[in-house]
Amino acid sequence: MAENGKKLHIAVFPWLAFGHMIPYLELSKLIAQKGHKISFISTAKNIDRLPKLPPNLVPFLNFVKLPMPHVEKLPENAEATIDVPYEQVKYLKIAQDGLQESMAKFLEDSVPDFILFDFTSYWIPSVAKTFNIPTAYFSIFIAAFLGFAGPVPGLNNDYEIRKTPEEYTVPPKWVPFETTVSWKLFEVSRIFEASMEGDEENVSDIFRLYKTLEYCDVLLVRSCSEFEPQWLKVLEDIHGKPVFPVGQLPTTSYEDNTMKIDTWREIKIWLDKQEKGKVIYVAFGSEAKPSQNELTEISLGLEISGLPFFWVLRIKRGEYDDELIQLPEGFEDRTKGRGIVCTSWAPQLKILSHESVGGFLTHSGWSSVVEAIQFEKPLVLLTFLADQGINARLLEEKNMAYSVPRDDRDGSFTHHSMAESLRLVLVEEEGEIYKEKVKEGKKNLCYPKRPACWQRVKFVIFGSQVRFSTRRISSSGIYICGKVWALKSRAGMLQCEFVPRQAFEGVNLVALIRWTQADTDHGCTSRDLAGGEVLKDRSHHSQEPSTSTCAGTSDMEAQNSEMEIGLAVGGAFLSSALNVLFDRLAPQGELFKMFQTAKQETGRHYAWSSDCAK
């Protein structure tokens, strides 16, 4: 919560794709649950197609409809990626760029305390700066994808932009640990020209991403420390600014009387008749569309696998897509009763939750991956575009998924390899590892039983003042011995003072550690304020020499006054620290002022640390 109980106004501006808008909406709902006001900004048609809000959140979440700019080559009424063929998506980006004036007017009139934005609207920081509004890039991509993209070339480093597809098929040199995460040649070749090079009409995606990473104040990532601790550390190291994992944001649904209940009822009747754990669910998201050859091989693979299947198939991308794809002749007749092909809307969450579904053939879009893990469904992967290749490698590395074998050069695969992949994961003993790892993933990603990460800082205390010399700055007011400490800046120093506990009412601070020299000497540990769980016992550790000693103080003074405090936050849902982050980084917040002062004096950002809780 904000200082003195003030509620914050946070603007949210995602890219014009439902794979981006839905995670932004989930994050917005979680913030709104804390009583903050959200302005969710998009075009009218997109907002009208978003899921309904639960009634209790309606007063806190306001949808702001901006008029879609006219772009000559963009089809009429096309306002999202699902409305256009893949080759016309660049015109949507040009159209979103045309919203700068409308966004500036909104920010001037409403003056939100904070704005979350997507990488496509890389111009947001410059617009927001005019009104002194802090910005956060919320990445719906996982940390591995951003880490693989790397640092902004030439910005306090000697890295250069990779210029060939082949350079993206190996782990980059700034990743300090062994990993198999990289693109296959066919994956990066499909997106290289548009994403890496751009053209005379549109700037490249990599340009948009680098400008976003360079000028945003804070980086929020759809991830958690249980899943990507090393990759999150890479992001902190290469960007030198606050990096916050906000969790996996599993999709939530609210049903009202307008839901297509009859559609689900018919699907459920069919699923109820199938053997438990034997149905393969097939869906490739709102953007991925197989080629005709890929569609044929998928179809024949499903047919010869002998497995029952439910397939949600998009045969075209929007009404202006004239490249139709067709199922093989006689396919539906030959698989009648064993399989269903649905070319309209289907309730994916409900289907995945059904006990007869034993696996998910997916494009590796992260929302679909999280939904599968949420319901413990092992994954068979068939990538098509964007971040999907990186997602697939990370899942393979963790033995949580199996990719259909393909030719590295052109991505081709056979129906035999498709059938074998499906049977391996759903039927064969060899596939048990994927089921086990997905179950483990659910415990860690969706419902963690332990805190996920720490926001840590070491302070040296002199009376009422706190002097810091490391680059690790705490993100929030923190409970210590049942009270709240607020951080205030004064000429490069931090001043601690008590503030009323009521000012933080409703902020779910899960746990903390307080450690001083006296605590260690007496074998004491602090405990979870909610349940008394000991999270970390420092009584068996010898006191290390201080790393935060300030000039003009002795080592003994520093040791006796140093404390290490940690704020533990759940990994799968909104970090508790995120609530307070908005408070402290809002223009009236003291950390915001401190960062601005520090940046002016030193010319650099301070970095915050997210470490796995042990």
pLDDT tens-digit readout, 574-598: 334 444 444 444 445 544 454 445 4
Do 309 and 426 reside in the same domain of the chain?
A: yes
pLDDT of residue 224: 85
Give the Å distances, CA to CA, from 460 to 49, 291, 465: 52, 62, 9
Residue 228 lies in a domain: no
Asked if residue 137 has pLDDT above 60, the reply is yes
Q: Are residues 406 and 496 in the same domain?
A: no
The residue whose two tokens read 């009412």 is 505
Question: Average pLDDT of 200-227?
Answer: 88
- Statement to judge: residues 431 and 493 lie in one domain: no
| pLDDT score at 251 | 80
User: What pLDDT, in 10s, does the model give residues 242-284?
Assistant: 888 888 888 876 655 455 667 888 899 999 999 999 999 999 9
Model pLDDT, residue 535: 28
Residue 23 lies in a domain: yes
274 shares its domain with 386: yes
Q: Where are the beta strands (DSSP E) in 491-609?
A: 493-499, 511-515, 562-569
Coil, helix or strand for 280? strand
Q: Is residue 588 situated within a structural domain?
A: yes
User: Quick one: what percent of the chain has pLDDT higher than 90?
Assistant: 48
Asked whether the CA dihedral 219, 221, 224, 225 is positive or negative, the reply is negative
**Within a domain: residue 389?**
yes
| 469 touches 548 (CB < 8 A) | yes
Arithmetic mean of pLDDT over the chain: 74
pLDDT score, position 252: 78
Same structural domain, 342 and 424: yes
Structural domain of residue 377, as residue ranges? 261-446
Q: Same domain, yes or no, for 421 and 328?
A: yes
Percent of the chain with pLDDT over 70: 67
Contacts for 576 with CB less than 8 Å, ≥ 6 apart: 507, 508, 509, 510, 567, 569, 570
In tens, the pLDDT along 321-378 reads 667 788 999 999 999 989 999 988 888 999 999 999 999 999 999 999 999 998 999 9
Is 366 in the same domain as 417? yes
Domain boundary among 425, 446, 467: 446
pLDDT band, residue 62 (cuts 50/70/90): very high
Please check the confidence at residue 607 and state whether its pLDDT lies above 90: no
- Residue type, position 553, single letter: T
Record the pTM.
0.73
Beta-strand ranges (E) seen in 50-146 are 61-66, 114-117, 135-139
- Of residues 546 and 286, the one with the higher pLDDT is 286
Single out the residue of 292, 346, 349 nearest to residue 315, CA to CA. 292
Residue 207, token pair as written in the block:
């340009």
- Find out whether 82 and 317 touch, Cβ atoms under 8 Å: yes
Most confident stretch, 218-222, 250-254, 566-570, 593-597: 218-222
Distance of CA 99 to the CA centre of its chain: 24
pLDDT greater than 90 at residue 509 = no
Same domain assignment for residues 436 and 520: no
Whole-angstrom distance, CA of residue 244 vs CA of residue 500: 26
- Tell whether 296 and 397 lie within a shared domain: yes
487: which residues sit within 8 A by CB, 6+ positions away? Answer: 466, 474, 477, 494, 495, 496, 584, 590, 591, 594
Q: Give the pLDDT band (50/70/90) at residue 311.
A: very high
Domain count, the chain: 3
Kindly state whether residue 176 falls inside one of the protein's structural domains.
no
Q: Is 256 part of a structural domain of the chain?
A: no
Residue at which a domain ends, from 107, 140, 173: 140
What is the SS3 assignment for 131? coil
Q: In whole angstroms, what is the distance from residue 88 CA to residue 318 CA?
A: 11
Ordered DSSP codes for 222-241 = S--TTT-HHHHHHHHHHH-S
Which one, of 244, 220, 239, 243, lies nearest residue 153 by Cα? 239
Specify the higher pLDDT residue, 572 or 425.
425
Structure tokens at 48: 């009208």
Residue 230's pLDDT band (cuts 50, 70, 90): very high
Range 145-153 average pLDDT: 89
CATH of residue 113's domain is 3.40.50.2000
Q: For position 285, what pLDDT does the model report?
A: 86
Facing residues of 458 across strands?
Answer: 564
Say whether both 299 and 407 belong to one domain. yes
Final residue before a domain boundary, out of 428, 446, 464: 446
| Burial of 56 (C-beta count, 10 Å sphere; 0-12/13-18/19+) | exposed
CA 497 to CA 476: how far, in whole Å? 13
Question: Residue 126 is encoded by which pair of tokens?
Answer: 């410059």
222 in a domain, yes or no? no
* pLDDT tier for residue 310 given thresholds of 50, 70 and 90: very high
Exposure letters 597-607 (e unless 16+ CB within 10 A, then b)? ebeeeeeebbb
Active site residue 20: yes
Q: What is the mean pLDDT of residues 423-429?
A: 95
Of 9, 20, 363, 415, the active-site residue reads 20
Q: What is the pLDDT of residues 155-200, one digit of tens each?
A: 666 677 788 889 899 999 899 999 999 999 999 888 776 666 556 6
Each residue's pLDDT tens digit, 106-126: 999 999 999 999 999 999 999
DSSP string, 401-436: EEEPP--TTT----HHHHHHHHHHHHTSGGGHHHHH
Q: What is the pLDDT of residue 46?
A: 95
Same domain (yes/no): 414, 529: no
Do 362 and 466 share a domain, yes or no? no
Active site annotation includes 118: yes
* Lookup: tokens for 318: 């929007």
Tell me if 156 is assigned to some domain. no
Question: Residue 547's pLDDT is what?
Answer: 29
Q: Active-site residue among 83, 113, 118, 205?
A: 118
pLDDT at 551 over 50: no
